[in-house]
Amino acid sequence: MGDDGTSASYPRDWPPTETGGQMSRSREIAKRRDRSVGHDCISPATRPEATLILTLLLACDSSPSETADDTHVPPGDDCIPSDDALGAVEVVVTTMPTVLRATWSLDADAPARLRFVDSTGRWVENEPGEGLMVGLLPNTDVPWQLVWEEGGEPRCSSVGSATTGPLSVPAVDVEGALAPGYVITPIIDTDSTLVLLDALGNVVWSHEADAELDEPMIRARLGRDRKSVLYHLRSNSSHEGEIVRLGLDGEEIARIPFPGIDIDWDELEDGRIAGLNPELRLYENGELVRGDRLVVTDGTTSVVLWNALDALGPDLPYEVVEPSEGEVFQEFSHCNGVSYDGEGFLISLGNLDGVARVALDGRTEWVLRADSPDFDLGPGEIVMPHSAMAVEGGVIVFNRGMEIDGTTSCANATVFTLDQEAHHAEASWSVTSDPCLVISFLGHAQRLAGGETLVDYSSAGLLQQVENDGVITFNANLQAGSAFGFATHLGELGTPIAE
């Protein structure tokens, strides 16, 4: 990908050169847990396939006491058992074998809320009327219950159970635990598989990408609606590209064309996609230079919001030319990461060792780098950054590290505190890879709501969660030759019920 900072050619950035397997302890997380909970009303003789419908007629003789153990009894006993108020309840194994869908009929003052036991053993409650159970282990009996209000009093059904289906998942070695919630990430080897990891590192959702385009899936995000996931496919040979939106049930919802989409993108509130897109310019001095643009599209109409060459590049006459396979060009900005925070965008400038802040109207609000007039950069360095995200009072940057003249700069995640009035920036927190890693492919850092930091050493096949004091509380390692795509913590998908 031209990481020497001078030239590059298509295709970019793949395959990675580092290997996974940083930890000695090995276990396949899909097999690390097996829970069996029965319910006489719907205990199936065999595990359901994706099309099996389980029907529970709640008038049958059942109660929460019939669950396998007390851990599967809903917390609290303040609701009035009211099975006779419900019609038939159907629980369906969806296209995603580890996602169940419950439907029911109820004449009550307010919609019923579905609660269920997730993959970490917690009771979780959905929004009223929402029937998807997400965050479940494969081949597992899942206790569930409906709760609602009637005449000002809490009512509930008996506890039912339904069984998830089998799921093919990549092998991941896990130690420790993540902050509550889920991580979404592609796992890249010979194929690209999009997964959701729960807080214990279990794979609870898995989707294998199409093989139609020649680049691996590297970025996925939870939709702004929090009911869908998005990932992108691209081709460096044909410059085709698209964003694919899937429901959490695994059903495809839409495909948004995005020709030339590059490494990273984000979704806006209205569903449009803001993504990086390359531009190749032939300057009058004969230099062929590749820059990057931020393009916003709804799949039909596209607008160039920002152009790195216009904002930061040479002021010389040029013409835009189409790239061709194997063509050698000069890298200018080498933008690799874009994040949207509702007020603007942060874009990593890999070749310029910096970060740009772009307003919603396309203005460059500031640039953070060693020689920028916008900030006097104090302690701390930005070296080959691959991601940048806003944090309170500043920005967190993932630096991939590099080797220059025998000197190695190790990959790290660093928080820079920004004082825009004083035009000063300095590193206020940092964690460096140990042992030292130089990341050839991707890399990402995210500060979580609880103060933890998720650090994704992509091409090394290593994902870590680090506390503020530098203690590593979670490690996930892939087998040698595999890589993580951009990994992002999503928070909770439901509301945990306090015990």
CA separation for the pair 336, 399 (Å, rounded): 11
- The SS3 of residue 486 is coil
CA separation for the pair 482, 251 (Å, rounded): 27
φ/ψ (deg, to 5) at 373: -75, -10
For 376-440, the DSSP string reads EE-S----SEEEEEEETTEEEEEE--EEETTEEEPPEEEEEEEETTTTEEEEEEEEE-SS----S
pLDDT tens, 284-308?
Answer: 999 999 999 999 999 999 999 999 9
φ/ψ (deg, to 5) at 381: -125, 150
User: DSSP secondary-structure letter at 317?
Assistant: -
> What is the average pLDDT score of the chain?
84
More confidently predicted of 170 and 357: 357
At residue 213, the pLDDT reads 61
At residue 73, the pLDDT reads 63
CA separation for the pair 177, 180 (Å, rounded): 9
Residue 455 pLDDT exceeds 70: yes
At residue 211, the pLDDT reads 64
At residue 417, the pLDDT reads 96
| CATH number of this structure's domain 7-27+171-494 | 2.120.10.30
Section 209-233 average pLDDT: 87
At residue 243, the pLDDT reads 94
From 489, 481, 436, select the one nearest 463 (Cα to Cα). 489
From 122, 137, 175, select the one nearest 462 (Cα to Cα). 175
**Residue-range domain boundaries for the chain:** 7-27+171-494, 29-163
More confidently predicted of 352 and 88: 352
- Which residues have C-beta within 8 Å of that of residue 306, sequence separation ≥ 6? 293, 294, 345, 347, 358, 362, 364
Section 178-200 average pLDDT: 94
pLDDT tens, 83-138?
Answer: 888 888 899 999 999 999 999 988 777 789 999 999 999 999 999 999 999 999 99
Q: How confident is the model at residue 24 (pLDDT cuts 50, 70, 90)?
A: very low
